[in-house]
A and B are shown apart, each in its own frame.
Chain A
Amino acid sequence: MQGLSIRGLTRTFPGQGSAGPTLALQPTDLDVAPGEFVSILGPSGCGKSTLLRIVAGLDRPTGGSVTLSGRQVTRPGPDRGMVFQSYTLFPWLTVEQNILFGLRERRVPQARAREIAAAYIARTGLRGFEHHWPRQLSGGMQQRTALARALANDPEILLLDEPFGALDHQTRELMQELLLEVWGADTPAARKTVLFVTHDIDEAVFLASRVLVMSARPGRVKAEVPVPLPYPRDWMVKTTPEFAALKAKLMGEIREEVRKAALA
């Protein structure tokens, strides 16, 4: 069985002190086909990060299972690349060395590794910044480097947890286009599977071929909206009536969850 398959996944965080345990994730099922781009939309605290971290192997579920191409996920691995919301470049490594990190860890021969790194540096528009340290980069450049670092490992699936959440609006829109460009550069059959977490409806629709809406905590997938807009997409698509209709539909789904989350 190819692709990502999630069955009955739950996660309860044990309480601390007088606080009781937190049910972060209700039993969740999800299937993602290879090459699919799925956005996960949900109010703050609904368990989006928890779900992604379990798929990454950084957190253990309380129940249920995650399998990727038939292999059960039990620990983190280079087949699941991740970009975090916070800036997680290694500050003591340059842009190029950051991108080489995973390749070195997997013992890819030096010459080949440098070739791969150079290719992703070019694809993410980082030429000329190879030898800069992360502190010398803008937030957008840091996240582009993080994306290149994850892609350099040639993962089977990309897990993106609000990677553009800390960026200003304009940079964010540019980054969305860049992500689609990088992802779409492969032939449709060779494209990476992507799970993209966000709470921005525009972003979710613009990027994904399918949007999942999660309920307020305890999270579960409460609605699923396919996005039939053809790739490649550019920013113009955001001005089409189809886009507006999808947005309106998702807005309806999410509003009541956000209200619940805010009152909880």
Chain B
Amino acid sequence: MLLRSGFIILLQRGALEPLKPVTATTRILLGAGFFALFLGLWAMATEGGYVQPLFLASPGRALAAGWSLLTEYGFLGDMGMTVWRVLGGFLLAAALAVPLGLMMGAYKGIEAFFEPFISFARYLPASAFIPLLILWAGVGEAQKLAVIFLGSVFQIVIMVTVIAGTTRMDLVEAAYTLGARRSGILRRVIIPAAAPQVMEALRLVLGWAWTYVIVAELIGAQSGIGHMIMDSQRLLDTGQMIFGIVVIGLIGLVTDLLFKLLNRRLFRWVAL
């Protein structure tokens, strides 16, 4: 019944025409609607007694667990730690990978030199390096950053290479006929043309970096969201675990939103 009436409302609002954009209100309502549906099902399954609390805490219990984490166990410190690790490793990776990718995309000789190795390296799972990294760098921050770095750097290089390599040739030629030399082509055509897509690629990879950091924190960490989740497992506290996971999701959502806003700001010409 509920599904049926929902479907009818969607039709009336013109939200099911192929490729037709929906209004902002409809979009927000629909997006919030699925969250509500999800929470409802979760509450029904747990509060209704269909699932043992040992395996899955109810939304209410997860929230309560979260409150005590924040007020009694200094969880904000863990969150800060994790955010700093993600950003640190990610920014290090971007600082190396973006320039390298741009050079590889622009100069086919440089691409030929690095591309085969990087294509191979990007299939090496970052998490498989954790034991080795612990051996090399101990269980300190360097090791955490290294996991994020390894997980992101090759992905960014490959994506940026492709983006820079597909710069419109007619724009490059136009620049040549206007007197640009080799360095001008890179600085004033390839880089500005690639910039919006490079930022989109970074947004994507930052999302992946979040998955690596948790893996890094599950093993040999004294702080961080992943470490808290590990601790909670020992205490069989599914409420805390779920709260930790939700917090990761929320931080991810917020950074993604900020990234999108920044891109829209920086590259107003793209959206025209």
Contact = CB atoms under 8 A, between A and B. Distances in A.
Q: How large is the interface on A (under 10, 10 to 19, 20 to 34, 35 or more residues)?
A: 20 to 34
Interface stretch (B26-34, B169-177, B210-218): B169-177
Contacts of A78: 177-179
A57 B173 CA distance: 10
Given A92-B267, A133-B272, A153-B179, A105 B174 contact: no
Contacts of A88: 170-171, 173-174
A129 interface: no
B187 to A, nearest CB: 10
Interface in B12-38: none
Contacts of A57: 176-177
A159 B179 CA distance: 14
Interface string A131-162: 00101100000000010011001000001000
Interface stretch (A61-69, A79-87, A246-254): A79-87
A232 interface: no
A102 interface: yes
**Interface residues of A, dominant DSSP:** loop
Contacts of A150: 177-178
A76 B176 contact: yes
B60 interface: no
A91 B269 contact: yes
A90 interface: yes
Contact of A92 (B177, B178, B179, B193): B193
Interface in B168-197: 170-171, 173-181, 184, 188-189, 192-193, 195
A137 B52 CA distance: 63
Most buried by B among A81, A82, A88, A106: A88
A18 B92 CA distance: 48
Contact of A136 (B181, B189, B272): B272
Given A105-B188, A133-B272, A81 B170 contact: no
Interface of B: 170-171, 173-181, 184, 188-189, 192-193, 195, 267-269, 272
Q: Which 5 A-B pairs have the closest CB atoms?
A: A78-B179, A102-B178, A76-B176, A135-B272, A88-B174
